[in-house]
Structure 1
Amino acid sequence: MPKPPQGALKPPKAVFDGIYAFAPNRETLGGTAYLIVEKFGNVLIDCPPWHEVNQEFINSCGGVRWLIITHRGAIAKVDLIQKALSCDVSIQEQEAYLLPGLNVVSFQKEQFLHEDLKVIWTPGHSPGSACLYYRHRGFSGAQPKGGILFTGRHLLPNSNGELAIIRNSKTFHWLRQINSVHLLLKEFNSEVLSYICPGGNIGFLRGQLSIDRAYERLLELDLATKS
């Protein structure tokens, strides 16, 4: 197990009850990974900095059943993570070739891991970019109202802390990325989608670890792309 670089020993922070955000990972260009702790199986979303501190934290939470990769840029030490945690790795089929020799469960358009857990293909940022939807039943007791969308780098906060589609030199297909916002709007509504946890640019949220009014912000973003 490699030693963490100096300054990387910050413990994961609680975003909500049972959901934690890891410190940005230099190997994924500052990407933020998350851990969902659930009775039906813990879920690791993207690759956190892989060292003994994070591994011990994950083990203290009961390990991991699934590692979800939201895009090719979030891949880092997946082989070591899978070996240490004995977890399944989920990735969209167009990017599965980037993980040769590993136990990978690929999908085409969507993948249900549980009735409260669904991976959705949202191409554009990369060919296999995907989002994970998690229905967090703790928001309103036994009857869920709202949920969380982990967006990887499909949707990120901009420098003003606003939800945005960010185009850069590595963007795979800009129009497909815009169309993927339309897809999410059709998939959800304001009753089932409350928060967004982006996979990068967390510093622009100025101390926050999630974006509220998620569906409303998706609508605003959709209108902005049409103007």
Structure 2
Amino acid sequence: MQHRSTKSPRPVSDTVFAFPPNRDTMGGTSYFILENSGNILVDCPAWDAENQEFLQEKGGIRWLFLTHRGAIGRVKEIQAAFGCEVLIQEQEAYLLPGLAVTSFQFEFILSPSSQAIWTPGHTPGSACLYHREQGGILFTGRHLLPNQQGEPVPLRIAKTFHWRRQLESIGKLRDRFSAETLQSICPGANTGFLRGQRKVDRAYEQLMQLDLEALREMKPGL
């Protein structure tokens, strides 16, 4: 029996929507991007009637992009319902046996506006989705999450695959973008710390404020 979400997907902007946290992915937040060349679903929302109806009304899904292994939910059902392509970094594609999956190594272009970027560390195949519209939005999965102040930070937990590699991935994002090309972050969890804002603003500025040297010495949390 399908359970229903307590809330409907909420707009982040005119073309980006955030789903309620999904208990199947440990409270992960997934996103839906309206694209002229085909809509993109970032990670798996709860597979309930309300979310299915929302996706149908918005024109379905062209791509389902998975930011990391912990965001894998009801992929099989989503692909069967919408005939979408599933995109995941190559090191974690084995977790989807029997499905038609597109994998990538470093980067992958989904559309003229959206690109997948490998950012290993949280997991071996952790990746972000960069959407160049609206000043540049980075969908970070659990690579970067808001802290209690709503600031985007890496979180070192017991299950972190490789902490130093995760920090190196942040450094590469800082080298890649600028204040003009990266204005927002849509994190894949901890969205309650955004206090209703639904995205992190001044994203590049806040990334540049991270002290990566100090973070290298951080001990794992829970």
TM-score range, shorter chain: over 0.9
Contact 1:9 1:53 in 2 (8 A): no
Deviations 1:77-102 (CA, angstroms, capped at 9, x unpaired) = 10011001110000000000000111
Shift of 1:187: 1.3
Code of the aligned partner of 2:3: P
Contact 1:150 1:197 in 2 (8 A): yes
Q: State the SS of the aligned residue for 2:170.
A: helix
Shift of 1:115: 2.0
Deviations 1:134-182 (CA, angstroms, capped at 9, x unpaired) = 011xx4xxxxxx2100000000001222111101111000000000001
Structure 1: state its 5+ residue gaps: 140-145
Match of 1:101 in 2: 98
Moved over 4 A (4+): none
CA distance in 2: counterparts of 1:44 and 1:160, whole angstroms: 27
Matches within 5 A, 1:38-57: 38-57=35-54
CA distance in 2: counterparts of 1:4 and 1:116, whole angstroms: 34
Deviations 1:57-76 (CA, angstroms, capped at 9, x unpaired) = 00100000000000000001
Q: 1:155 aligns with which of 144, 147, 150?
A: 144
TM-score between both structures, scaled by the size of structure 1 = 0.92
Q: State the SS of the aligned residue for 1:111.
A: strand
Q: 2:119 aligns with which of 110, 117, 122?
A: 122
Q: 2:63 aligns with which of 59, 63, 66?
A: 66
Match of 1:142 in 2: none
RMSD over aligned Cα atoms: 0.9
CA distance in 2: counterparts of 1:129 and 1:18, whole angstroms: 24
Identity of aligned residues (%): 57
Q: 1:198 aligns with which of 187, 204, 207?
A: 187
Q: State the SS of the aligned residue for 1:131.
A: strand
Q: 2:81 aligns with which of 77, 80, 84?
A: 84
Shift of 1:113: 1.1
Code of the aligned partner of 1:164: V
TM-score between both structures, scaled by the size of structure 2 = 0.94
Structure 2: state its 5+ residue gaps: 215-222
Whether 2:212 is the aligned partner of 1:225: answer yes
Shift of 1:9: 3.5
